[in-house]
Amino acid sequence: MRGSRVVAGLVLAYLLLPVAVVVGLSFNAPSNRLSYDFDRFTLANWADPCGPAGLCASVLRSAQIGLLATVLATVLGTLLAFGLTRHRFRGRGPLNALVFLPMATPEVVLGSSLLALFTAGAVPLGFWTVVIAHVMFCVSFVVVVVKARLAGMDPRLEEAAADLYASPWHTFRTVTLPLAMPGIVAGALLAFSLSFDDFIVSNFNAGTMTTFPMFVWGSAQRGIPPQVNVVGTAMFAVAVLAVVITTFRRRAR
């Protein structure tokens, strides 16, 4: 068992090494455009994160797409999860399959098939086609997370509310929804991170618009501005901060 602990430590180090490199490179003044080596320490990248043309615009666009896709996917996915767990109806099996299939389909296929549809329908590619695409692949993940939460809920709580003469709507608002909330929030967070980080599906359906991952991809061919690592580090810091705050708030309660 000692052996498995050593392996576990090494695997964690392997997972975290690139993150450390991203943080390090955000303070790097590269010797030339195409160099990936650490050359000289500088704060210039952090002082001017929007320096490279188009970088901050692409981050903003990714955030807008992420928020819109998250709201839509969370609403659609939560409704689906309630329908699938709380009700027995004809066609439940095929519907479960339809929800599962997008997760079992590689992103190239998802992205290219939507592109084929948009092209056939002469739909102009851009912001909205990417939002539509992101909602499509996020819905399934929201359904899975919310379903897992609903499956673990004690049905007697809602029965108790009904016994105490709460109307169905009142029961839903004050008992069911609060209990399901952690699952819905987790689903929404997952949807946002999937959307914000997506490259493949976006690249097929964005036309000439650029999201943050697409900006990184494009600049990888021309030489990456060190500010990309500033954005990467800042994203990491925000996420860590969010995790720390939620953990402490839960402890405080």
Partner 1 sequence: MTVTAAARPARAARRTPYLLILPGLLWLAVFFAVPVVQLGATSLYDPNGSLTDGYAMTWSFGNYATALAAYWPQFLRSLLYAGLATAICLALGYPLAFVIAQRAGRWRNLLLILVVAPFFTSFLVRTLAWKAILADTGWLAGLLRDLHLLAPDGRLLATPFAVVMGLVYNFLPFMVLPLYASLQRLDGRLLEAAADLYASPLRTFRHVTLPLSMPGVVAGTLLTFIPAVGDYINAALLGTVRTSMIGNVIDSAFLVRLDYPQAAALSFLLMAAILVLVTVYVRRAGTDELL
Could you say whether residue 123 binds partner 1 (CB under 8 A)? no
Could you say whether residue 165 binds partner 1 (CB under 8 A)? no
What's the distance, CA 26 to chain centroid?
23
Identify the residue among 51, 52, 107, 209 touching partner 1 (CB under 8 A): 107
User: Closest distance between partner 1 and the C-beta of residue 156, in Å?
Assistant: 20
Cα-Cα-Cα-Cα dihedral sign, residues 191, 194, 196, 202: negative
Beta carbons of 125 and 118 less than 8 angstroms apart: yes
Q: Please provide residue 189's backbone torsions phi and psi, each rounded to the nearest 5 degrees.
A: -60, -40
Compute the half-sphere exposure of residue 184: CA atoms within 13 Å on the CB side of its CA.
17
User: Closest distance between partner 1 and the C-beta of residue 197, in Å?
Assistant: 5
Could you say whether residue 27 binds partner 1 (CB under 8 A)? no
Identify the residue among 143, 145, 180, 191 touching partner 1 (CB under 8 A): 143
Stretch that binds partner 1, among 49-57, 79-87, 150-158, 173-181 (CB under 8 A): 79-87
Matching residue, tokens 């997008």: 102
User: Closest distance between partner 1 and the C-beta of residue 204, in Å?
Assistant: 7
Site for partner 1 in 200-219 (CB under 8 A): 200, 203-204, 212-213, 216-217
- Token code pair at residue 10: 């090494």
Identify the residue among 29, 44, 57, 117 touching partner 1 (CB under 8 A): 117
- Token code pair at residue 172: 């839903």
Distance separating alpha carbons of residues 110 and 108, to the nearest angstrom: 6
